[in-house]
Amino acid sequence: MQERDIKLLENTAIRFVTRLDYYVMRELISSGFVQKDSYPVMEDFLRIKKEASQAGFTEKTLSKLDDIISSRSKVMDTVEKYADIIEKQRISVLCKEDRDYPFSWKELSGMPPVFFAKGDTSILSGITHKGAVSIVGSRQPGRYSLYATREFSSKLSKKGVAVVSGMALGIDRAAHVASMEVGGKTVAVVPGGPDVIYPYKNADIYEKICAQGVLITELPPGQEVLKQYFPSRNRLISALSDACLVMEAGVYSGTLHTASFAAAQSRDVFVLPNSIYVDNCLGGLMLLRDGAEVLIDVDTVYERIMEQVDNRRALLQGEVDDGNDLAALRALARIAPENLSEEQWKLVICDEISEKPRNIDELCFSLGIPFTYLSSMVTILETEGRIANDQGKYVLTIHGR
């Protein structure tokens, strides 16, 4: 395990063991003791404590500092526990500086600085250019809602949009399954630790999501599912997506939470029109009355998502300077292919394959490179072990991601 990961785990452990809240953190940051967007560990708190007398902290902060330092051994034990689970279960720890940290979270406040992921984390950075949709709804949906969920999930997945949901039973489950069936990208945001399978009935798709998609959570490994975590989980679902599809929602349901988070985060909310005689649907209908969009066809949703993606790209344009931004590279590949270096071509090829497995003829057409050049590049990538040929189509290997 890397030093960085240990540090992030220690920070997480301090936050969870001592219930360090944002109020205290804000004070520490504003007083200059803690850098913004940094991950203070025990060492830092010890240092702060030494100098705390001159700083004029509020009482609450001072007591919290004492609290933290006194629970030092407990924190260290917890770090060990986390590290153990993470190693065994191949969970990754991500923070704001990572490439795969969702771009859409960076723009919002209150998003977790550190989170845990199990599976293919590149999906998260892929959302920046391909967009994501959250599909949420009841745990006991009607057949109509289920049918619509499957249809919208698979159609949007085929277009390359990531499907984000909460891995609950019912609508969530159907959304994940339909996306994975067509080889799409799916993100499950769960209300417990990354190693906790909840609900246990979904154990089968838990494994599948970790293999084909990605499962993320802000809660540390081993953390049990608690009721109060559900709404905060929902805010992550809506924050990660560009549009939120409400398939079926009761009047007092978590789904409505997700929808209101989405609205607050200025995401488009689409509601599937449903029967007025089914209690479980009234929440959704109320959203419609309040001005949510009616979910009718895939194209409208996709258009909206792409609008968001385009906005994001425009934002990013100023920031990209490492020359490896894929959207920019793809554009360059079309306009001035001769300007791309070999390494850049390889990135473009890998990106193309990451959408879905491609045979070489398709690659040749979609990239528009001369076949001789493409084929030698593909052999090189294969020799390097970044891609592999599976039944006539090229797929990314673990190293290629």
- Which residues make up the interface to another protein (CB under 8 A)? 359-361, 364-365, 371-373, 375-380, 382-383, 385, 388-393, 395
Considering the complex, state which of residue 182 and residue 331 has its C-beta at the smaller distance from another protein: 182
* 333: nearest Cα among 289, 364, 303: 364
- Residue 378 CB, shortest distance to another protein, in Å, is 6
Task: Give the C-alpha separation, 74 to 148, whole Å.
Answer: 48
The size of the chain, in residues, is: 401
Considering the complex, state which of residue 199 and residue 368 has its C-beta at the smaller distance from another protein: 368
- Residue 155 CB, shortest distance to another protein, in Å, is 15
DSSP at 281? G
Considering the complex, state which of residue 173 and residue 386 has its C-beta at the smaller distance from another protein: 386
- Residue 210 CB, shortest distance to another protein, in Å, is 15
Instruction: Give the CB-side neighbour count of residue 75, counting CA atoms within 13 A.
Output: 25
Considering the complex, state which of residue 80 and residue 390 has its C-beta at the smaller distance from another protein: 390
* 143: nearest Cα among 298, 256, 248, 279: 248
Considering the complex, state which of residue 52 and residue 214 has its C-beta at the smaller distance from another protein: 214
- Residue 278 CB, shortest distance to another protein, in Å, is 36
For the chain, first and last CA: distance in Å? 20
Q: What is the DSSP string of 284-315?
A: HHHHHHTTPEE---HHHHHHHHHHHHHHHHHH
- Residue 204 CB, shortest distance to another protein, in Å, is 17
Task: Give the C-alpha separation, 164 to 146, whole Å.
Answer: 16
Considering the complex, state which of residue 73 and residue 383 has its C-beta at the smaller distance from another protein: 383
Considering the complex, state which of residue 180 and residue 377 has its C-beta at the smaller distance from another protein: 377
Other beta carbons less than 10 A from residue 232's beta carbon? 15
- Residue 208 CB, shortest distance to another protein, in Å, is 13
- Residue 397 CB, shortest distance to another protein, in Å, is 9
- Residue 114 CB, shortest distance to another protein, in Å, is 31
What residue has token string 């798709």? Answer: 205
Task: Give the C-alpha separation, 131 to 160, whole Å.
Answer: 8
Task: Give the C-alpha separation, 17 to 71, whole Å.
Answer: 8
Considering the complex, state which of residue 285 and residue 363 has its C-beta at the smaller distance from another protein: 363
DSSP at 161? P
Considering the complex, state which of residue 189 and residue 377 has its C-beta at the smaller distance from another protein: 377
In terms of C-beta density within 10 A (0-12 exposed, 13-18 middle, 19 or more buried), how is residue 191 classed? buried
Q: Which long-range contacts (CB under 8 A, 24 or more apart) does 15-22 make?
A: 16/78, 16/220, 16/223, 17/71, 17/74, 17/75, 17/78, 18/64, 18/67, 18/68, 18/71, 18/75, 20/64, 20/68, 22/110
- Residue 267 CB, shortest distance to another protein, in Å, is 33
Task: Give the C-alpha separation, 190 to 215, whole Å.
Answer: 7
One-letter amino acid of 193: G
